[in-house]
Structure 1
């Protein structure tokens, strides 16, 4: 969020949104200086330092090239956290077939998977000035899925809902993810941000496709400042897709400190009136174990054994695992 990375005027609108959102999310906690280049060491300390109970993080590339020159941060800078903490951090790459061009996007996928070890690729479909695209576009999206599968990567993630700047809000709807999931059953798809304000739509789509998952990112950060609203969204998601299709996400380092957020959400219990009045399920310890790390490990075909990531089946997984789906 450095000023020299902002593209005017679109990026400035997104910048103002970010700062308003951060002020709201951090109303009861710390306020940090986000408009600077954070080092990998700084982020690692925030995630894993002190009394942190976080074992695993996924660092995500944020390819918002219509708002920020390097996206929200450059790919190689994101990868620095993996180099610093290779036993605890999984790399998620990212690209954009419209803003980068499809040929360059394919090159990005090749490079990020083969050279940086990306286990997933993140996409943004909603862009300014008529440059939006769809996850079910055979000419734009499907060649990227095919290339990912050629490299053995079957996990695509997409920003839906949560408008950041002047992008058309209609492009943030989730219909296209359902069509992509139907056409590509060998792929898994993660919808970020619950598609808010289209959360009912996102849940209705995800509950019908076993290869679609929902991330807690952003909306869960409001659990202290908007507890009722967050409980209702949480309950809808749990009732709709179940705890085995929901993934923890912190937006770290944005928002509350990731350990604080972990404590608040881990201790959350579904209000009794929402259980009785809306059939929202209570949350078991097994549900928490799935949402806070095991679901992501299953999607990545990994286990976490003796404090390090290993291929699934290489050893008995540690009993406790907490992940932070992190963006820097």
Structure 2
């Protein structure tokens, strides 16, 4: 917690960015370098890893957990299986790591399955297998994949009745209610079209009993994203990467947040750090302790970001979205190993040592 705010990080990744994991040559390297560039560009002093070889590695789940629950004020987090097997041998965040997270930290993590809809019936079968193994709280999707020997960047739409709708129908039958899709942030030097948000409404309308979570909400297509929030009760925004802007690009963050608040108020905006893309603590700390909308943006948003609004964004909204009982969650983690270690004071960033830290 930070102050009296219970913090849920709605998206985290134990990336495998090591070059030995690359399958698609320059495309895999380009995306890895983009992630590293976002890290160096948006991380504050003392929280930035300068050496590429220290960042472009295979991050362990224990390292991720320590960053989240000892080095920062996060209480619960969501880890996504990433289905980028055409780029990375393990998809970038593997099913195996997510299974390990499930086993080691059941009280600290929720998990999302992840499949590539362009795989057709194979994606449906894979989803069934992941649901059986993981008991996930949601499904993570990317709007494009790199196909064939030439690794052609190929997009698909969330409102496509042939590609998307069979997957949503299967998710519904399997008990998955929350569908998160990467939007607003192209994965390297690729066509922009798949990352637009104009396809969300068709999915939300066709599947009103499912929730659709726009990941990277507000990074681009701000008014279009806000309009989706206002029109459809089952559309939400996840601030992965967007939230990190507050550390070094505060005006950009403020404009994005004001634009989302303008359309639909605070109740559908959820915090996400994207750790390990960057360390989560500086953004959370600045948002809770220091952030206010400038007066000109208060007039845009129609409100100020009060402590009540901050509590909603940092954790209460996601708890409601995912059916988390905050009081029960607090009780489960109150005396675990992470809470005990954090009670002694937060260590410096990236302090994990495999030989000295076991859970």
- Which TM-score applies when normalising by structure 1? 0.87
Instruction: Say if 2:99 and 2:133, in contact at 8 Å, map to a contact too.
Output: no
Supply the distance in 1 between the matched residues of 2:200 and 2:82 (Cα, whole angstroms). Answer: 18
Work out whether 1:293 is the aligned partner of 2:315. yes
Q: Flag the 1:83–1:309 CA change in 2: closer, same or farther, 3 A.
A: farther
Partner SS for 1:191 = strand
Aligned to 1:111: 129
1:63 is displaced (CA, Å) by: 1.9
2:261: which partner in 1? 238
Asked if 1 retains the 8 angstrom alpha-carbon contact of 2:32 and 2:56, the reply is: no
| Equivalent residue number for residue 288 of structure 2 | 266
C-alpha contact 2:241 2:272 (8 A) present in aligned 1: yes
Alignment partner, residue 57 of structure 1: 77
Partner of 2:134: helix, strand, or coil? coil
Of 46, 66, 69, the match for 1:48: 69
Match of 1:23 in 2: 40
Task: Kindly report the root-mean-square deviation, in angstroms, between the aligned alpha carbons of the 2 structures.
Answer: 1.8
**Structure 2: how far apart are the matches of 1:188 and 1:289?**
21
State the alpha-carbon separation in 1 of the partners of residues 248 and 281 from structure 2.
16
Give the Cα–Cα distance (whole angstroms) in 2 for the partners of residues 117 and 308 of structure 1: 21
Map 1:33-182 onto structure 2 (within 5 A).
33-50=54-71, 52-98=72-118, 101-128=119-146, 129-182=152-205
Measure, in 2, the Cα distance between the counterparts of 1:16 and 1:87.
33
**In the TM superposition, what whole-angstrom CA distance separates every residue of 1:148-174 from its partner, at most 9, and x where no partner exists?**
111221110000111122332111111
How far apart, in 2, do the equivalents of 1:299 and 1:27 lie? 31
> Structure 1 3/279 Cα, relative in aligned 2: closer, same or farther at 3 Å?
closer
Which structure would you say has the larger RCO, counting Cα contacts within 8 Å and 6 or more residues apart? Answer: 2
**Corresponding residue of 2:18:** 2
Distance in 1 separating the partners of 2:218 and 2:186: 9
SS in 2 for 1:219: coil
Q: Which moved more, 1:216-225 or 1:72-81?
A: 72-81
TM-score (norm 2): 0.80
Match of 1:202 among 225, 228, 232: 225
For the residue of structure 1 that corresponds to 2:275, the secondary structure is: coil
The answer to whether residue 278 in structure 2 is matched with residue 251 in structure 1 is no
SS in 2 for 1:194: coil
Q: Structure 2 stretches of 5 or more lacking a match?
A: 1-16, 147-151, 333-359
Give 5+ residue unaligned stretches, structure 1. 311-328
- Answer whether contact 2:259 2:301 (CA < 8 A) is retained: no
SS of residue matched to 1:220? coil
Distance 2:122 2:155 in 1: 17
Distance across 1 between alignment mates of 2:144 and 2:123: 16
Secondary structure of 2:99's aligned partner: helix
Q: Within 1, Cα distance between the matches of 2:28 and 2:197?
A: 24
Contact 2:145 2:154 in 1 (8 A): yes
Tell me the secondary structure at the aligned position of residue 69 of structure 1.
coil
* Length, aligned pairs only: 305
1:220 correspondence with 2:243? yes
